[in-house]
């Protein structure tokens, strides 16, 4: 299985900050990468697919980039609603796998 | 509005069986591939299985292969997960998720909790 490694595991930030989360794949996944946001007690929510495509309804302050094995999720001007855990997920080859998550906390 | 509603979770003893259901509405169910994804307490999500709409092919995570079976009834707009020979490590919230147009998992249900314990 393809291993997905996110960094950092936890990130402390303030409202208005720009934050970047990194995701590395153990092998080339082209751009078959998604980012999901999860809040406590809720199901994950798709934010970004195919590495850089913003899902319908997701604010434009979220953006994704990368290809191959290195990917980033950037949140420009962090809002209160953005404090959550973020997961990258590859869908290049079975079994689909997730990163371990990055928790964005209030500083 | 797309809705996915899971049911069937509960407490089961090791070695037992359970069948989960996911009732879909708000879209043409038969046109979409569907997934089961689980999340153990305090852990990240883990993909369990998927079922394609075009050819009905199925795929499973190694951790459940041979024990779990994914199926669907398009006449009832319902996805199922039959879980046999359950183990303590199968304890998790189980979500169904739809594969969207050219994107994975664009809609998720609210989840149903499965607890495997004696």
Return the residue in B5, B47, B104 with the most chain A beta carbons within 10 A, the one to mutate for interface testing: B104
Query: 10-residue block means of pLDDT along chain B (118 residues)?
Result: 97 98 97 97 94 92 97 96 98 96 91 97
DSSP for A27-78, please give it.
S--TT-EEEEEE-TTS--EEEEETTTEEPTT--TTEEEEEETTEEEEEESS-
How many other β-carbons are positioned within 10 Å of the β-carbon of residue A99?
27
Q: Do A46 and B45 touch (CB under 8 A)?
A: no
Question: Which of B70, B79, B67, B77 lies closest to B27, judged by CA?
Answer: B77
Q: Do A53 and B109 touch (CB under 8 A)?
A: no
Mean pLDDT, residues A84-93 taken together: 95
3-state helix, strand, coil split of chain B in percent (to 5) is 5, 55, 40
A18-30 confidence digits (pLDDT tens): 999 999 999 999 9
The DSSP 8-state label assigned to residue B31 in this structure reads: G
Mean pLDDT of chain A: 96
Return the residue in A43, A46, A55, A90 with the most chain B beta carbons within 10 A, the one to mutate for interface testing: A43
A43-62 confidence digits (pLDDT tens): 999 999 999 999 999 999 99
Sheet containing strand B18-25, strands side by side? B3-7, B18-25, B78-83, B68-73
User: B113's torsion region: left (phi>0), alpha (psi -120 to 50) or beta?
Assistant: beta
The DSSP 8-state label assigned to residue B55 in this structure reads: S
Q: Do A46 and B105 touch (CB under 8 A)?
A: yes
């Amino acid at each position: 299985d393809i291993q997905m490694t996110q960094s950092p595991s936890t990130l402390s930030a303030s409202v208005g900050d720009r934050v970047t989360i990194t995701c590395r794949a153990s092998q080339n996944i082209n751009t078959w990468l998604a980012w999901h946001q999860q809040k406590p007690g809720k199901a994950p929510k798709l934010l970004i697919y195919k590495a850089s495509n913003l899902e319908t309804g997701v604010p434009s302050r979220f953006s994704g980039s990368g290809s191959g094995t290195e990917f980033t999720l950037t949140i420009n001007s962090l809002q209160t609603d953005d404090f959550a855990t973020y997961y990258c997920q590859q869908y290049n080859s079975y079994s689909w796998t997730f990163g371990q998550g990055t928790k964005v906390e209030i500083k | 509005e797309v809705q996915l509603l899971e049911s069937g979770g509960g407490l089961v003893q090791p070695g037992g069986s359970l069948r989960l259901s996911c009732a879909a509405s708000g879209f043409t169910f038969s046109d979409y591939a569907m997934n089961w994804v689980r999340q153990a307490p305090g852990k990240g999500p883990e993909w369990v299985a998927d079922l394609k709409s075009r050819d009905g092919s199925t795929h499973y995570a190694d951790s459940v292969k041979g024990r779990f079976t994914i199926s669907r009834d398009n006449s009832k707009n319902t996805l199922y997960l039959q879980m046999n020979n359950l183990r303590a490590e199968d304890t998790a919230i189980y979500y169904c998720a739809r594969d969207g147009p050219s994107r994975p998992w664009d809609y998720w249900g609210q989840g149903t909790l499965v607890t495997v314990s004696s």
